[in-house]
Amino acid sequence: MSDSDVSALPEISALAPANDPAFDNVWDEIVWRGLVHVSTDQEALRALLGGEPITYYCGFDPTASSLHLGHLVQLLTLRRLQLAGHKPLGLVGGSTGLIGDPRPTAERTLNSRETVAEWVASLRAQVERYLSFDGENAARMVNNLDWTAPLSAIDFLREIGKHYRVGTMLKKDAVAARLNSDAGISYTEFSYQILQGLDFLELYRQYDCVLQTGGSDQWGNLTSGTDLIHRVEGVSVHAIGTPLITNSDGTKFGKSEGNAIWIDAELTSPYAFYQFWLSTADADVIERLKVFTFLTSAQIGEYAQLVETEPFRRAAQKRLALEACTIVHGVDATLAVIAASEALFGQGDLAALDAETLRSALRELPHAEVAHGSLVVQALVDTGLVASLGEARRAIAQGGVTLDGLKVDDEGAAVSGALPGGVSVLRRGKKTLAGLFVV
């Protein structure tokens, strides 16, 4: 991307994240952004977040090697509260990750201790990128294995288990759903809510932590901690459950044919990540800007107007993709992705692109591995751009095929893989693209 192209981009709020000065209290801002689906006493929370700095936390269980978009809601919520002067604790669940919270339909597969330890390290590094560890409200990272590992089963039952009532535990949504399923629920997963309650109690005792945030589907586990602290310490602490993000058509956000959108670039490339946001529906894009960017209410209001008056420009989607991709992958990777997107669709120089960005972009298109020197007509078939060699020859004869941006006018033309990373870009017509990985 050229200097002139960069200068044409809007100022990226993700590079200097800040809360919206239109709100005097961060509670009002997170409510406006739609981040409070359920909570403990709202008036008390507003006073708490508008007063002296408090310590708060969110937990992340290592049930995979990376966090995904659902976790990004929590990471950005943690950051917004820290920007308001509060002190975050990022918890990675070395002990709860060995068990896993109850899924709605079936038992989780228990991972080995070695795998969980590896995932703890991976998730910790991811969480750390979204928090500041400097200043008076510097973040801390904690691992619940530190206080559960030394605890014997007898001590756990005597000191913690005695404060829980089975009748109350059975009413938790996740437990109730499993009890009514064919799979039932094991004692192991049934006990998960006690472990999460113990986490909140320990963090209250060690750091005076008085607020936990999490997804609203975790509400039963969140209130496990508030109830336990009230019973043991005789004080009231708080919890906020953020909404589960869904699309306006009711489909689950961040899922495509069962595949999550990960924040690890090795699992979801920056190009695929950027394109995911770019494809956001008009009906969803303003709510996504509220949750996944640091744009102000005034700026988002301007984009809402553009969605109404000039939806064909997709200005809101482009800004969302720019901001969200910068937050997760950094500005350099984001600018490289934008350059690749533009070049692939005829608005830039393919040969000037970063090799890895180009290769990752082509993996998101129909693509095939081809031998150096193989014919373009066969590559058209191999990538599915045409159904037969005859159709491929006709497409070339009609002037509708380009290779690496140059028109192919000879059916004997060969693939060279001349672009960075040893690839070629095949186009049929104006918008139908495929990638060729030359081997």
pLDDT value of residue 8: 56
pLDDT top residue among 49 and 247: 49
243-282, pLDDT tens digit by residue?
998 888 888 787 655 678 999 999 999 999 999 999 999 9
Angle (CA) 73-76-82 rounded to 5° is 140
143-152, pLDDT tens digit by residue?
999 999 999 9
Evaluate if residue 176 carries a pLDDT over 60: yes
Which domains, ranges and CATH numbers included, belong to the chain? Answer: 35-242 (3.40.50.620), 365-439 (3.10.290.10)
Give whichever of 173-182, 291-300, 379-388 has the largest mean pLDDT: 291-300
pLDDT top residue among 405 and 301: 301
pLDDT value of residue 258: 64
pLDDT top residue among 191 and 132: 132
Pairing relationship of beta strands 432-438 and 367-370 according to DSSP bridges: parallel
The answer to whether residues 74 and 213 touch, using CB atoms and an 8 Å cutoff, is yes
Distance CA 222, CA 213 (A): 8
Q: What is the CA radius of gyration of the chain?
A: 25
| pLDDT confidence tier of residue 99, bands split at 50, 70 and 90 | confident
DSSP line for 218-261: GHHHHHHHHHHHHHHH----EEEEEPPPB-TTSPBTTEETTEE-
Percentage of residues of the chain with pLDDT beyond 90? 76
Distance CA 167, CA 135 (A): 45
Q: CB within 8 A of 416, min separation 6: which ones?
A: 372, 373, 404, 424, 438
Q: CB within 8 A of 309, min separation 6: which ones?
A: none
Give whichever of 50-54, 156-160, 217-221, 243-247 has the largest mean pLDDT: 50-54
Residue 70, number of CB atoms within 10 A of its CB: 18
Q: CB within 8 A of 252, min separation 6: which ones?
A: 246
pLDDT value of residue 257: 52
pLDDT value of residue 110: 87
| pLDDT confidence tier of residue 4, bands split at 50, 70 and 90 | very low
Distance CA 427, CA 350 (A): 13
Arithmetic mean of pLDDT over the chain: 92
Evaluate if residue 1 carries a pLDDT over 60: no
Evaluate if residue 205 carries a pLDDT over 50: yes
Q: What is the mean pLDDT of residues 43-67?
A: 97
| pLDDT confidence tier of residue 14, bands split at 50, 70 and 90 | very high
280-336, pLDDT tens digit by residue?
999 999 999 999 999 999 999 999 999 999 999 999 999 999 999 999 999 999 999
Pairing relationship of beta strands 209-215 and 238-242 according to DSSP bridges: parallel
Evaluate if residue 433 carries a pLDDT over 80: yes
| pTM exceeds 0.85 | yes
Residue 367 burial by Cβ neighbours in a 10 Å radius (0-12, 13-18, 19+):
buried
Q: What is the mean pLDDT of residues 8-30?
A: 92
Distance CA 51, CA 81 (A): 12
Q: What is the mean pLDDT of residues 393-411?
A: 91
